[in-house]
Structure 1
């Protein structure tokens, strides 16, 4: 693979791999957010002129909470979000979104931690969460979330091949 280097260790290789995946997925995720929230082109241009990447746009948690507020669920945690420059309030906004993700059934291993976003610890995990969110949100409200991001889900499970006779146990 192109991101492997003999002068780096496994942790660095994994970090580089996830960073590469983040960079390739980021434009699609940003465009999906712009489309879902109907963000005008002039604001999108302003974001790109200021060199704001996805993490910069999401860091205060407000955009995430706006996405969560589009869901047709009762007692939305995201409805409590606040506009603030204080880090504690911004992290609280992010946690409101993460609570919403849990509420709609996104698996725990696909949900990022607040520090992944706020401190830029694992950018690709944010992408994974938003891909999962787009799928669940589309299932709950196809009118508010008409498009999906990321790879398509498999509808038909693959058949499991039978073991050769010599490898199968006598109890199967």
Structure 2
């Protein structure tokens, strides 16, 4: 059993698969385990091409491990270009060698979250909606009033306090 198996969330994996199927329009073989359903990267690449048509020009559908691993790499590059933060992407070996399946699930959820922000996306919602920027416009009078308020964050602080002179426990005795 891989060391990250305990961290896997079957519900999040199922949600990710449902989202992939809906966006890509393709069914995955649910008789397989989650990583095996998307391991070759074909479904992931096709899904990215649905989100951004033509973003992945070549999808290897057959060949050895190296060719299929390139599909995963292409997916990651396309996901990053789509807006998924680099810290939420996964390494190819995370999926191919099952090194970190939770990272794969996180990436798919992040992709779904980013997709919600795109004006042309009409697909399903997965996870919480991303917050939008909120502008605050304060009048000069409001800003001036704020400068005159007392900062209550400093109430109760011990400005300049130190541990000098504190005795806790038995003192160390040195005998000659």
Normalised to the residue count of structure 1, the TM-score between the two structures is 0.69
1:90 aligned to 65, 68, 88, which one? 68
Measure, in 1, the Cα distance between the counterparts of 2:86 and 2:66: 23
Measure, in 2, the Cα distance between the counterparts of 1:54 and 1:16: 12
Partner of 1:30: 17
Normalised to the residue count of structure 2, the TM-score between the two structures is 0.68
2:38 aligned to 58, 64, 87, which one? 58
Cα RMSD (Å): 2.7
Measure, in 1, the Cα distance between the counterparts of 2:103 and 2:17: 15
2:91 aligned to 110, 113, 133, which one? 113
Deviation beyond 6 Å, 4+ runs, structure 1: none
Measure, in 1, the Cα distance between the counterparts of 2:63 and 2:112: 27
Contact 1:65 1:79 in 2 (8 A): no
Contact 1:60 1:94 in 2 (8 A): yes
- In structure 2, runs of 5+ residues without a counterpart are 135-151, 160-176
Deviation at 1:120, TM superposition (A): 0.6
Deviation at 1:102, TM superposition (A): 1.3
Q: How many equivalent residue pairs?
A: 140
Q: Which has the larger radius of gyration?
A: 2
- In structure 1, runs of 5+ residues without a counterpart are 1-11
Deviation at 1:119, TM superposition (A): 0.4
